[in-house]
Amino acid sequence: MRLKPHLQLVVLPLGKSLYESGDELKHVYFPTNSIISLVSVMENGDSAEISVVGNEGLLGIPLFMGGGSTPNRAVVQSAGNAYRLSARLLREEFKRHEKLHDLLLRYTQSLMTQMAQTAVCNRHHSIEQQLCRWILLSLDRIPSNVLTMTQELIADMLGVRREGVSAAAGKLQKLHVIEYHRGVVTVIDRPKLETLSCECYEVVRKECERLLHYLPDTYDAK
């Protein structure tokens, strides 16, 4: 693969900002066991997560969609590692390799579905349902059932008050769905968590599987 020698493994600590709104994107990131949140920030400082990126995709879609920057902030939601690649190399490979071109466009479509469903969820569903959706989407992108996340950061991601997150997490604990202690969320009953979530999680999951799990030919740029 042409890109392999140029991939740099980097450590992404919790809360690290990879770029701010309006920044020129100089690299693309491929998370391995980390999760990156795309966050929309208002003029008054309020913010809300619009999508998450994990091992199913990449951070840096504007690089091959015709732009070089984004109005959103990218912040590490769950610490871990990622491979980093220069913007120039990704653009060149996107233009020259049809299979990579198609794969990245399918991923873009799945991310657009996630963004649209997040907007609907934030408008029409309870904080408890939103929290369930958010936990499930995060679990799908890490190799364990444990998330390291403060209530304050969860509230920022969901765009709600910290008290609301605390109450919702308390309900899930009483139902023995999760355990939450000192910024660590442990899921102990995932099937029940899925039943408590709204339909938004399932819509996003199915679309992601439809677009990304069907890969008739593995990308191999030689």
Beta-carbon count within 10 A of 179 CB: 14
Q: What is the pTM of this model?
A: 0.86
Question: What is the structure's pLDDT at 1?
Answer: 65
Write the CATH number of the domain with boundaries 122-205.
1.10.10.10
CATH level 3 topology of 4-97: Jelly Rolls (2.60.120)
Asked whether 77 and 35 are in contact (CB, 8 A), the reply is: yes
From-to residues of CATH 2.60.120.10 in the chain? 4-97
Helices (H), ranges, 86-161: 87-96, 98-124, 127-139, 151-158
Q: Where are the beta strands (DSSP E) in the chain?
A: 8-12, 17-19, 27-31, 35-41, 47-53, 73-78, 80-86, 146-148, 178-181, 184-187
CA distances to 57, 74, 142, 174, 196 from 133, in Å: 19, 20, 15, 18, 9
Query: What is the Cα–Cα distance from 44 to 158, expressed in whole angstroms?
Result: 16
Please give the chain's pLDDT, 222 residues, in tens: 688 899 999 999 999 999 998 898 999 999 999 999 999 988 888 888 999 999 999 999 998 887 778 889 999 999 999 999 999 999 999 988 888 889 999 999 999 999 999 999 988 999 999 999 999 999 999 989 999 888 888 888 888 999 999 999 999 999 999 998 888 999 999 999 999 999 999 999 999 999 987 444 444 444
Residues of the chain within CATH 1.10.10.10 domain(s) are 122-205
Question: Three-class SS of residue 97?
Answer: coil
Give me the pLDDT at residue 43, please. Answer: 83
Q: What is the pLDDT of residue 216?
A: 43
